[in-house]
Structure 1
Amino acid sequence: MDFTECYGDTVSSVAAAVRSGSRKRVRRLLRRGCSADCRDNRGWNALHEAAAAGSTKCLRDLLAAVGAAGSSRGCRAYVNSLTHEGESACYLAAQRGHLSAVRLLVTAHANIDQLTNDLSCPLYAAVDGGHKEVVQMLVSKGAEVNGTHTASCWTCLHQAVYKGHSDIVRILVTVSNLEALDDHRISPLFVAAQYGQQECLEILLQAGANVNTRAADLATPLLIASQEGHHACVDYLLDHGADPNTACSHDWPQLPIHAAAEFGHTRVLRRLIAVTDRLCDCGDGMVSPLYVAIHNHQSKCVELLLTEGYSPDAQDCTETLGLHSPLSLALSHTSTKTYSESVKLLVAAGASFTEEDWIYALTTDKTDLLQLVLEHRWIPRPEALIGDCPLSQFHGKPVLKRQELRDLLCVALNQVCFAACWLPLLLRAGLEPSLLLHPHMLEQADSEVLNYLLEFVNWSTLSVPLKHILNQRRAEKSWEPCSDFDSVPCLSHICRLQVRALLGPDLLMRTNAIQQLPVPSPLHGFLQFRDIPEPSYSQLQPTPLSNRIEGYHISHQHRHIL
C-alpha cells in the first residue's frame, strides 16, 4: 500500500496548524485539548509534521504538551511513534537535514537507531542526503554506524561512498568498519572504484582499506574500476598496491586488463598493459585480452594490444572459450558483413591462418577477405618450402608458412565451385599454378576455370593421368577446351613460362621486376599473363556464408598437396 500521498481530510487540526507554520494556532489548539497524536492516512501525527518541516518551536510545544499530559514513558513513546512506513520524527528530521530538530528529538530520548520498514535509519537517511552536520551529531551521540540497511545490506559508509559525500566519508572512516561487506561481499572501497568516486577512494585507502579486497565473484576494486573506465581510480589503485595479475573470475582467469579491453577503455588499457604479466598473452590456461576485445568489437583496443606486442595468434582457447585463435573469433563475426576491423588488424599483424580460417576466404563468392590476406602476405615458392626453415619475410611482408599454404590449397581444392572467384586472385598473387594441377581440380572445375588454369602452364607436358582426365571430360562434353590446347604451345607462351620460372611467380606478378627486363613495354602485360580473360562466377543463388561453411565441414575431404 502507498502511504506517501497525504489526504487533506485525514490530517488533524494540530498537524494542519504545524504544517502551515502557525505556532500560535498550534498552542491554541493544544490548550483546547486537541490531540497531538491523531494520525492521517500515512500514519503521520503532528510531531512528524513538525520534524519534517524542521520547526523546532512547534516540536517543543508538542513535546511539552504531551509531557504535561502524561508520564515520561508516554512522552518517550510519543517521540518514537512511527508512521505507516516505519518513519520516526527523528528519521524525518535527519532525512531533511534539520540539525536543530534532530538535536531536540535526541534530547527528548528519540531512538536514533530506529529502523524504518525499508531498513533505513536516521543516520543512513542523513548520509544519503549528504547532511554532514546531522551525521556528525548522530555519530557523536553513539548512533550505530555499522548496521546494515536496504535489501543489499549496505552500511552508512557504503552509501556515503556511493553518493560521493567525501566529507561524510571522512567522518565515518574513523568509526566504521572499513571492510564491511554487503550481500555480494562488496566493500565500501569496491563501491568507490565501481562508481568512480576518486576522492572517497583516496580517503578509504589512506584510512587503511584493503586495496585488493574481493567480491563474491572474485572481482577486485581494480577490475571494476577498469571495467567502468575510471582511469583516475585505476591509477590510484595501482599506485597503492592493487595487483593487476589477480584472477577475478571463477570461470576463467579474468584480469583487469580483460575488463578494460572488453569495454573499450583504451586509456585504462594502456596503463594496465604496462603492469600486467604477459603470461596472459600466450600462456596455457590463460586468455589473451585480444579475445574479449574482438568479441565486443573494440577495434581500438585490438589495435592497441597488437601495437604493444600482444600476439595476433595468442593461445588456443578451445577448452576455455571454444575458440582456437583470435582470428577465428574475428572471422566468425563476418557472417552478415564482409570482414570486421579486427580481422584487418589481425591479418596486418601477421595472424596465422588455419584450414578453418581459410574457409571464410574461399568458401564464398566474395573476394574482399582473400584480397586483404594477399595484400599483407606473400605466397611462398614451392622450393622455399622444401627446407625446414621457410622464409618468414619477403619484401618486408610475412610469407605464408608451409602449413598455411597446405591448408589454403586443401580448402581451395575442396571448393572448386568458387574457383572462378579465388583462382585469378591467387595466380595474380604469385601462386605456382602447378600446385593446383590436382585430379580433383581437373575433374570438377567448369570449362572457363579449367581453361584459365591451363593457360598458366605448359599443357603439353601434363602427366598422363591428368591428360586422361581432360580427354575423358572432352569426350563427355563437360569441358570445352581452348583451340590452342590441341597443339604444342607457341614459342611466346613457352618464353613467358620460362621468364616466370626464372623470376619466380611472386616477383613476376607482385613487383615491378618485369619493368626492369630489357623487353619492350607492350610485352609487360603479356609476360604477366594479363591477356588471359578471367573466368566468370555463374552461381545464380548464392547460399549464406554460414551454410557454406557448415557444408564444407560435412563434405570436406583432405587432399594431399605439395
Structure 2
Amino acid sequence: ILDLLIPLTNRLCDTGPEKVSPVYSAVFGGHEECLELLLQNGYSPDAQTCLVFGFSSPMCMAFQKDCEFFGIVNILLKYGAQLNELHLAYCLKYEKFSVFRYFLKKGCPLASWNHISEFINHAIKAQTKYKEWLPHLLLAGFDPLALLCSSWINSVSIDTLIFTLEFMNWKRLPPTVEKMLSARASNSSWILRQHIASVPSLTHLCRLEIRSSLKPEHLRSDSFICQLPLPRSLHNYLLYADVLRMNEVPEAAANQDKEISEAT
C-alpha cells in the first residue's frame, strides 16, 4: 500500500514547516520496512521539527521505541540523518550510553551547539554514571569549559568535577569560572581545593597542546593517536590512560590498551 501512496503524496509534507513527515509515523509505529521504503524514495531522515509529536527530529523520537530502537537508528543513519547534541542529550536521558558512544564514533558534532543547556541538564542527571559517557565525550574532543557553568559546578559530584578539570588547564580558566569553582571548593572537601590549587604538570600541558593540534576526526580515533610517531607510553598518555585508571574507568582504558597493542 505504501508503494502506491508514495507517488500520490504531496511532498511538501517531507520537510515543510508545520507539516508532519510520514517518516515520523514510521518511526512512531516502529515500522522499519516502511521507514526504509520512505527513505529510499527520497524522504528526509531529518524531516522537520514536529510539534504534534513533540520531537525535533525522527531520531529523537526513536528513543521512545525501545524494542525497535537500534534498527530504526541504523536505518536513519544509513540514509544520512544528521546527528546533533540533542541526540546525545537523549542518550543520557534514557541512559543509552552505548548509543552515546556510537554517536560520537559516527561523528556527532561537538562544537557550536545550540542546545547546550538542555544537554547539561540531562548530563547532570546522568552524572552518577559519568564513567560510561563523560570520558568518551572529552576524549572525542569536546571542550570541557562548555560544561563549567554554574549548574554543572554546583550539582555534580566532586569526582565528576575533578575528572572534568583533568581535560584542561585548570589554572587558566575564565575569572567567572574560577570564582564558581572557588565557591564550590570552599563548601566541599579538601580534595577539590587541593586540585584547583595545584599546578598542572608540564607533561599534562604538552598533552593538551598536542591534542589541540589534532583534527576532530583524529581525536575520535584511538588508532590514529596510536600510530603517531611517538613512544607507546606517550600514546597511552595522550589517551589519558593514567586519568582513566585513576578514576577506575576500566572499559575505556582496556579498549585503548587493545587498540594500542593492535597498532604497534
Q: Provide the TM-score with structure 2 as the length reference.
A: 0.75
Letter in 2 for 1:410: S
**Match status 1:294 vs 2:27:** yes
Matched, 1:341 2:71: yes
State the superposition RMSD in angstroms: 3.2
Deviation at 1:506, TM superposition (A): 4.4
- Which amino acid is 1:406 matched to? N
CA 1:464–1:314 in 2, change beyond 3 Å: closer, same or farther? closer
The answer to whether residue 183 in structure 2 is matched with residue 472 in structure 1 is: yes
Q: Is contact 1:432-1:505 (8 Å) kept? A: no
Matched residues in 1 for 2:218 and 2:81: separation?
23
Q: What's the counterpart of residue 413 of structure 1?
A: 120
Counterpart secondary structure, 1:488 = coil
Instruction: Output the CA distance in 1 between the equivalents of 2:173 and 2:99.
Output: 32
SS in structure 1 at match of 2:242: coil
Equivalent position of 2:136 in the other structure: 425
Q: Give the drift of 1:358.
A: 4.9
What is the SS of the residue equivalent to 2:46?
Answer: coil
CA distance in 1, matches of 2:193, 2:40: 51
Once the 2 structures are TM-superposed, how far is the Cα of residue 370 of structure 1 from its aligned partner? 1.6
Contact 1:379 1:506 in 2 (8 A): no
Query: How far apart are 1:434 and its partner, in Å?
Result: 2.2
Distance 1:435 1:353, change over 3 A: same
How far residue 493 of structure 1 moved from its aligned partner, in angstroms, is: 0.5
Question: Taking structure 1 as reference, are residues 333 and 441 closer, same or farther at Cα in structure 2, changes over 3 Å only?
Answer: same
Distance in 2, matches of 1:490 and 1:322, equals: 48
Match of 1:441 among 147, 152, 157: 152
Instruction: Classify 1:531/1:463 alpha carbon distance in 2 versus 1 (closer, same or farther; 3 Å).
Output: same
Instruction: For 1:258-297, list aligned pairs within 5 A.
Output: 260=2, 269=3, 273=6, 278-284=11-17, 286-297=19-30
Q: Which residue of 1 aligns with 2:36?
A: 303
The answer to whether the Cα contact below 8 Å between 1:378 and 1:506 also exists between their aligned partners in 2 is no
How far, CA to CA, are the matches of 1:304 and 1:501 in structure 2? 43
State how far apart, in whole Å, the 2-side matches of 1:504 and 1:356 are: 23
| Alignment CA distance shift 1:509-1:472 (3 Å) | same
Query: Can you list the C-alpha shifts for 1:336-384, whole angstroms capped at 9, x where unaligned?
Result: x69342133224434356776554212244413322322323334x5xx
State the match for 1:387 in structure 2.
none
The answer on whether the counterparts of 2:182 and 2:193 sit within 8 Å (CA) in structure 1 is no
> 2 CA distance for matches of 1:297 and 1:310?
17
Distance 1:284 1:443, change over 3 A: closer
User: CA 1:358–1:301 in 2, change beyond 3 Å: closer, same or farther?
Assistant: same
Q: Structure 2: where are the runs of 5+ without partners?
A: 250-264
Cα distance in 1 between the residues matched to 2:118 and 2:147: 11
Once the two structures are TM-superposed, the CA of residue 484 in structure 1 deviates from its matched residue by 5.4
Change in CA separation of 1:364 and 1:273 when aligned onto 2, cut-off 3 Å = closer
Larger Rg: 1
- 1:391-402 to structure 2, matched below 5 A, reads 402=112
2:153 aligned with 1:452: no
Report sequence identity in percent.
34
- The letter for the 1-side match of 2:81 is A
Q: Which amino acid aligns with 1:327?
A: M
Out of 77, 87, 92, which is 1:362 matched to? 92
TM-score, normalising length: structure 1? 0.39
Contact 2:85 2:109 in 1 (8 A): no
| Offset at residue 529 of structure 1 (A) | 1.5
2:58 matched to which residue of 1? 326
2:167 is paired with a residue whose SS is coil
Contact 2:166–2:243 (CA under 8 A) maintained in structure 1: yes
Q: Which residue of 2 aligns with 1:517?
A: 228
1:5-54 CA-partner distances (Å, limit 9, x unpaired): xxxxxxxxxxxxxxxxxxxxxxxxxxxxxxxxxxxxxxxxxxxxxxxxxx
The Cα of 1:273 is off from its aligned counterpart by: 4.4
Tell me how far apart the structure 2 counterparts of residues 285 and 492 of structure 1 sit (CA, whole Å).
Answer: 54
Please state whether the residue corresponding to 2:162 is helix, strand or coil: helix
CA gap 1:439/1:517 in 2 versus in 1, 3 angstroms: same
1:502 alignment counterpart:
213
Q: How many residues align?
A: 244
Alpha-carbon distance change, 412 to 479 in structure 1, aligned in 2, over 3 angstroms: farther
Q: 2:46·2:81 contact (CA, 8 Å) conserved in 1? A: yes
| SS of the residue 2:232 aligns to | coil
- Runs of 4 or more consecutive aligned structure 1 residues displaced over 4 Å after TM superposition: 271-277, 321-324, 352-359, 482-485, 534-537
Task: Flag the structure with more relative contact order, 1 or 2, with Cα contacts below 8 A and sequence separation at least 6.
Answer: 2
C-alpha separation in 1, matches of 2:98 and 2:68: 7
What SS is found at the alignment partner of 2:65?
A: helix
Q: State the distance in 1 between where 2:95 and 2:187 align.
A: 28
| AA aligned opposite 1:312 | P
Within 2, Cα distance between the matches of 1:518 and 1:311? 43
Deviation at 1:442, TM superposition (A): 1.8
Q: Which consecutive residues of structure 1, in runs of 5 or more, have no partner in the other structure?
A: 1-225, 227-259, 261-268, 383-401, 538-562
Within-5 A mapping of 1:109-120 = none
